[in-house]
Chain A
Amino acid sequence: MNQVAPDTLSEHAGATSSETGREIILEVTDLKKYFPIKSGVLFQREVAAVKAVDGVSFKIFQGETLGLVGESGCGKSTTGRTILQLYRATSGSVKFRGQEITSLKGTSMRKMRREMQMVFQDPYASLNPRMSVGRIVGEPLVVHNIGTKKEREERVAELLKLVGLNPYFVNRYPHEFSGGQRQRIGLARSLALNPSFIVADEPISALDVSIQAQVVNLLEQLQDDLGLTYLFIAHDLSMVRHLCDRVAVMYLGKIVEIAESEELYTNPLHPYTQALLSAVPVPDPVVEEQRQRIILKGDVPSPINPPIGCNFNTRCPVAVDVCHEEDPKLEEVLPSHWVACHRVV
């Protein structure tokens, strides 16, 4: 594997001269998360590791929405969870407003958790079925010991109103709600602590299409009202285009391309991005007529044994010898447009 020194990466990845003026809220540098595979009759020892996230670097600016897209199993969810320290990073750094958070523990970690929250994918699994809506939404306040009981109740009502739910529902239980309503409850919970950064892990993919738009609009509305910053994880490319300022494409634990949303969709450079975008139907019949699907051959290789050289070389239609030898670096080939590919220079 071709490792890039973290310091050189942090100088480059994702940021350009034109953006230096904006405040960086989150900076991820060479983040890795390996899940050990253990085996043994009596005593377990590590025999291999799933390289779910394998050296990911990017920056997120205050108030923007960064989309993180890729096939299922490419490590995008793991990236989100590792950033939030739900998983302990194997290596690499995550800086939130300049502060390193991978090494935080105890009280300082809990303090940090008030700043960054998560919205989950499955609206059915993400709410405790034994807790009433009021307790679910108020839990962050209880955990952080904020306010009196009365104040907490008021805050919960306010939060429910904020996400478009009737505060009358506080004593109801999650199973009495629809998927969209449950996702709003989850959103209310994540907003309880007034966070500035939210990781949204495919928050709409489990919802009906008609409900998806509502939730996306709600997310946008909240961003405007509360000045939130989102890391929006998704596999639905059209929704990402609509919602995100910039988009990062992941493949097999690595970021292969980052660019401004419009730039990425009109001018994809990495062959994987091109293949992904070719699968998106275009609402314009003339363009749709000309759209040609790039069908990738083969399956995604196992993250336990990723290919030597470029991760994508087993399926890449334009791979050459160097792709099998050297891991390409993420480089800025156009302004604000970063690609990790030997063939794009």
Chain B
Amino acid sequence: MAVSETTNPNSQNVFMIIRKTLSRAVDMIGGTSMLIFLFRRILAAIPVLLAITLVTFVLSHLLPGGPFNAVGQRRMPEYLIQQLEEKFGLNKPLLVNTWNDGYFPDGDDWRIIGYRTEVHTEGGGARGDIHQVENEVLRIDLLDSQFFNYVWDALHLDFGPSLNVALRDQNVQVSEEISKRLPVSIQVGVFAVLLGFVIGIPLGVLAAVYHNTLIDYGAMFFAVMGQSVPNIVLGPILIIIFAVELGWVPVIDQQNQWREGPELSLYYLKILALPVLALGTGMSAGIARLTRASLLQVLHEDYVRTARAKGLRERVVIYVHALKNAMIPVATIVGPLLAAVLTGTFVVELIFTIPGLGKVFVDSVAARDYTMIMGVSLLYSIFLIAGNILVDIMYTWLDPRIRFD
């Protein structure tokens, strides 16, 4: 009691401070309606994610063959495949377990729900004799399938070990591998988005300010060009020009920098340059067109005309009054753009042999590495959904006229 009495005023103070900070934070991100909106959107995303998990799971398991069928060119013996499948739980039914024979080794009956005696060994080594311990465990046999086991584990943030032969022998977990490869993709993606904005916005502004002049036509021709040259063309051309002919950058990453993690050095910038350029050019084209369209529209609005009528200099009109509002639609594409870049770095990663997430995914599909396929797809889905939510938030943030309903 004494303790609580002495801390009481203090804790109340702390409580007040927390409350104030919280309410200020809530105000900053757009008031309670925004929070409720965010909460609802996240809630709505859960069933979507579950459904996506189911689809990807079924699809990846439908692929002919399995992760253990062969090592390199050699086929694995049948008994080894069986043993491995049992070890990783791949012998269980895919979606719903309706077995009542063959699977349960202790001869227990299959039941939808009930207690089961599980036996496991304890002791051995320094801890004395080996003895067996029996445990009563509540089991739902119906859900003892590959899918529900995966979902259950995933809810505990356990995405399982990689089944790819190159990784499973070292017991590499999917989450480990992803956390190693994701930063590579993110670096390329984020730099590319940045480059896209750095080139795209000035280009779009120039085109709009000098509407229907040569500058406009030139900028828009560049933009259409940028949208028309795919990465599988631009990538090799960049390699030929900058790596082979000019020799400014290495053709491939000889120092294994991608794998060892980034390090701010000239070499790192060099190997980053081409993939970022390849990804960023196409993006800058889209951003330039959007900026131009948006700015042109705003320049025809009444308040811009008023600003001009007041006698403000054209530069002030454009950069102070118009540009801020013209940036609203441009800013809203950041979310989907990031999502698209992160889920779409496949091309660039394969051309420039960057060991990023896209490369991992393509490899894991080839190796029937189910857990890795699932892990990467789920991550991509989360990116996409988050990107979509981000658009809506950006809209309200930038344009107070839009309300959450």
Are A and B in contact, CB atoms below 8 Å, in the complex?
yes
Q: How far is the CA of A41 from the CA of B44 in the complex (A)?
A: 6
What's the minimum C-beta distance from B389 to chain A, rounded to whole angstroms?
Answer: 13
B-chain residues with CB within 8 Å of residue A41 when the two chains form the complex = 40, 43-44
Verify if B400 is at the interface (C-beta below 8 Å from A).
Answer: no
Verify if B105 is at the interface (C-beta below 8 Å from A).
Answer: no
Q: How far is the CA of A41 from the CA of B404 in the complex (A)?
A: 13
Q: What 1/0 flags go to B161-196 for Cβ under 8 Å of A?
A: 000000000000000000000000000000000000
What's the minimum C-beta distance from B97 to chain A, rounded to whole angstroms?
Answer: 28
Q: How far is the CA of A42 from the CA of B45 in the complex (A)?
A: 10
Q: What 1/0 flags go to B40-54 for Cβ under 8 Å of A?
A: 100110010000000
> Which A-chain residue is minimally distant from B41 (CB atoms)?
A41
Q: How far is the CA of A41 from the CA of B36 in the complex (A)?
A: 11
> Which A-chain residue is minimally distant from B405 (CB atoms)?
A39
Q: How far is the CA of A42 from the CA of B43 in the complex (A)?
A: 9
Chain B contact residues: helix, strand, loop or mixed: helix
Q: How far is the CA of A42 from the CA of B44 in the complex (A)?
A: 7
Q: How far is the CA of A91 from the CA of B40 in the complex (A)?
A: 35
* Interface positions of A from 270 to 302, Cβ below 8 Å from B: none
Report the number of A-B residue pairs with Cβ-Cβ less than 8 Å.
5
* Interface positions of A from 29 to 43, Cβ below 8 Å from B: 41-42
What's the minimum C-beta distance from A327 to chain B, rounded to whole angstroms?
Answer: 31
Q: How far is the CA of A41 from the CA of B46 in the complex (A)?
A: 11
> Which B-chain residue is minimally distant from A40 (CB atoms)?
B40
* Interface positions of B from 3 to 43, Cβ below 8 Å from A: 40, 43
> Which B-chain residue is minimally distant from A39 (CB atoms)?
B405
* Interface positions of B from 216 to 256, Cβ below 8 Å from A: none
What's the minimum C-beta distance from B393 to chain A, rounded to whole angstroms?
Answer: 17
B-chain residues with CB within 8 Å of residue A42 when the two chains form the complex = 44, 47
A-chain residues with CB within 8 Å of residue B40 when the two chains form the complex = 41
A-chain residues with CB within 8 Å of residue B47 when the two chains form the complex = 42
Q: What 1/0 flags go to A34-77 for Cβ under 8 Å of B?
A: 00000001100000000000000000000000000000000000
Q: How far is the CA of A42 from the CA of B47 in the complex (A)?
A: 9
What's the minimum C-beta distance from A38 to chain B, rounded to whole angstroms?
Answer: 11
* Interface positions of A from 2 to 19, Cβ below 8 Å from B: none
Q: How far is the CA of A41 from the CA of B40 in the complex (A)?
A: 7
Q: How far is the CA of A102 from the CA of B108 in the complex (A)?
A: 66
Q: How far is the CA of A42 from the CA of B40 in the complex (A)?
A: 10
Q: How far is the CA of A225 from the CA of B244 in the complex (A)?
A: 89
Q: How far is the CA of A41 from the CA of B43 in the complex (A)?
A: 8
Q: How far is the CA of A41 from the CA of B37 in the complex (A)?
A: 10
A-chain residues with CB within 8 Å of residue B44 when the two chains form the complex = 41-42
Q: How far is the CA of A213 from the CA of B145 in the complex (A)?
A: 78
What's the minimum C-beta distance from A50 to chain B, rounded to whole angstroms?
Answer: 14
What's the minimum C-beta distance from B305 to chain A, rounded to whole angstroms?
Answer: 25
What's the minimum C-beta distance from A152 to chain B, rounded to whole angstroms?
Answer: 44
What's the minimum C-beta distance from A36 to chain B, rounded to whole angstroms?
Answer: 15
A-chain residues with CB within 8 Å of residue B43 when the two chains form the complex = 41
* Interface positions of B from 40 to 79, Cβ below 8 Å from A: 40, 43-44, 47
> Which A-chain residue is minimally distant from B47 (CB atoms)?
A42
Q: How far is the CA of A205 from the CA of B47 in the complex (A)?
A: 50
Q: How far is the CA of A122 from the CA of B152 in the complex (A)?
A: 59
Q: How far is the CA of A41 from the CA of B39 in the complex (A)?
A: 10
What's the minimum C-beta distance from B403 to chain A, rounded to whole angstroms?
Answer: 14
Q: How far is the CA of A42 from the CA of B42 in the complex (A)?
A: 12
What's the minimum C-beta distance from A304 to chain B, rounded to whole angstroms?
Answer: 14
Q: How far is the CA of A293 from the CA of B335 in the complex (A)?
A: 55
What's the minimum C-beta distance from A298 to chain B, rounded to whole angstroms?
Answer: 23
Q: How far is the CA of A42 from the CA of B41 in the complex (A)?
A: 10
What's the minimum C-beta distance from A48 to chain B, rounded to whole angstroms?
Answer: 13
What's the minimum C-beta distance from B284 to chain A, rounded to whole angstroms?
Answer: 37
What's the minimum C-beta distance from A37 to chain B, rounded to whole angstroms?
Answer: 10
What's the minimum C-beta distance from B404 to chain A, rounded to whole angstroms?
Answer: 12
Q: How far is the CA of A171 from the CA of B47 in the complex (A)?
A: 54
Q: How far is the CA of A285 from the CA of B276 in the complex (A)?
A: 78
Q: What 1/0 flags go to A120-160 for Cβ under 8 Å of B?
A: 00000000000000000000000000000000000000000
Q: How far is the CA of A323 from the CA of B43 in the complex (A)?
A: 46
* Interface positions of A from 285 to 327, Cβ below 8 Å from B: none
Q: How far is the CA of A41 from the CA of B45 in the complex (A)?
A: 10
> Which B-chain residue is minimally distant from A42 (CB atoms)?
B44
What's the minimum C-beta distance from A164 to chain B, rounded to whole angstroms?
Answer: 37
Q: How far is the CA of A42 from the CA of B46 in the complex (A)?
A: 11
Q: What 1/0 flags go to B112-152 for Cβ under 8 Å of A?
A: 00000000000000000000000000000000000000000
What's the minimum C-beta distance from A143 to chain B, rounded to whole angstroms?
Answer: 37
Q: How far is the CA of A219 from the CA of B127 in the complex (A)?
A: 104
What's the minimum C-beta distance from B204 to chain A, rounded to whole angstroms?
Answer: 32
Q: How far is the CA of A341 from the CA of B170 in the complex (A)?
A: 87
Q: How far is the CA of A42 from the CA of B48 in the complex (A)?
A: 11
Q: How far is the CA of A338 from the CA of B293 in the complex (A)?
A: 58
What's the minimum C-beta distance from A125 to chain B, rounded to whole angstroms?
Answer: 23
Q: How far is the CA of A47 from the CA of B139 in the complex (A)?
A: 41
Q: How far is the CA of A336 from the CA of B36 in the complex (A)?
A: 54
Q: How far is the CA of A57 from the CA of B47 in the complex (A)?
A: 49
What's the minimum C-beta distance from A239 to chain B, rounded to whole angstroms?
Answer: 31
Q: How far is the CA of A315 from the CA of B43 in the complex (A)?
A: 43
- Interface residues, chain A, with chain B CB atoms under 8 Å away: 41-42
Q: What are 5 A-B pairs at a CB distance below 8 A? A: A41-B40, A41-B43, A41-B44, A42-B44, A42-B47
Which 5 A/B pairs are nearest by Cβ-Cβ distance? Answer: A41-B44, A41-B40, A41-B43, A42-B44, A42-B47
